[in-house]
Amino acid sequence: LADKLVPYTLLGSALVYLLTRNTSRALSVLMVDFSCALKLAMPLTVLSAMRQAGTSHVTVKGGKYLEVMARADTIVFDKTGTLTKGVFQVTGVYPAPGVDKKVLLGLAAYAESGSHHPISQSLKDAYGQPLKGERVSAIQEIAGHGVQALVDGHPVAVGNAKLMKKIGAALPDERTDGTTVYVAADGKYIGCIVISDVVKPTAKAAMAALKENGVKMTVMLTGDAKAAADRVAAEIGMDRVEGELLPGDKVAQVEKLLAEKGPKENLAFVGDGINDAPVLSRADVGIAMGALGSDAAIEAADVVLMDDDPSKIALAMKISRHTLQIVWQNIVFALAVKAVCLVLGALGIAGMWLAIFADVGVMVLAVLNATRALKIK
């Protein structure tokens, strides 16, 4: 804006001189200038806001993302590690008739022995015995489905209902009291293990704070079974939930939401895993969890929550909106004062001192106003 106005200032000064042949009036018009207050105060406001966000453990990678955050009205969340702690615990073991619980847990733990996923770790913790590497081989992870492996030479499949259907293992009624891991051996269903994730204590308050900040819709995306996903969504107050999603399905869901939003509306995506990196890049603004999030997610994100607290999203939005208010205050104030002084200078009513105030004085006042971005309750 400032760069566009400077040529007009020069043109106006020349025009005043040509019309009046008065050097003092022309210099007064030139002295007023439009650029100083705008060029200095706006970047200072943004930098002050970014510093304020940093003191609250929110890292913003650029000033333009503050504007996008301020106008975000749809927030999409990945569930695990974002709204939940990603700390899974086995809360139920349900073997098929004739199958021992310990055997069921052992087969699941061995099949998952090559994975570092939190669900896999919870199965190994529940088994509670050292795993012997020679007992398991041919481990194969199937994205969005689970794991297949040979345990003591027998094919074992551990995963969701889709995996059981894929290998032809008939299931009883599906459970809805948590994330259910189904286990099959030699192509036959032998039981299931229920694992529950712990919801972050600030998740529910975070959703309420977003609504207070004008967010129209909150969406949760997860690979969990629909019943388990609905339970978590109801607990924390989500507007919409999509379950049983493969990693690629999340991108499709975000694309769908982007197509539905208005031209002046923005969509933010919040995630933490390596599978979230493509979605973080595709959203209008990507927000990553910085403490436990993957390097790929942090790299792809525009905003990073360093303490993994979802309630900081509402704070970031508040800082962004406060910043935009200050920027517009400076713009309107600078343009209004300078416009008046230009007219007065051109008419010969105001002299050089008023022109100096319009340039330097307005700049100082705008800078002082910009420092207000350093403080926000």
pLDDT tens, residue by residue, 10-67: 777 788 778 787 777 777 777 666 567 777 777 888 888 888 888 888 889 888 888 8
Instruction: Please say if the pLDDT value at position 219 is more than 90.
Output: yes
- Out of 33, 73, 78, 309, which one is annotated catalytic? 78
Reference 225, options 239, 241, 236, 238; nearest CA is 241
Residue type, 13: S
Sheet holding 72-78, edge to edge: 58-60, 303-305, 285-289, 266-271, 72-78, 217-221, 240-242
Give residue 39's pLDDT.
75
Angle among Cα 78, 295, 226 to the nearest 5 degrees reads 15
Q: What are phi and psi of 299, to 5 degrees?
A: -65, -40
Whether residue 78 lies in the annotated active site: yes
Q: Span 208-214, mean pLDDT?
A: 91
Instruction: Please say if the pLDDT value at position 1 is more than 60.
Output: no
Please tell me whether the overall predicted TM-score, pTM, comes out greater than 0.85 for this model: no
292-331 residue pLDDT tens: 667 778 888 889 998 888 999 999 999 998 888 888 888 8
Q: Span 203-210, mean pLDDT?
A: 93
Q: Percent of the chain having pLDDT more than 90?
A: 16
Other beta carbons less than 10 A from residue 98's beta carbon: 6
Instruction: Please say if the pLDDT value at position 195 is more than 70.
Output: yes
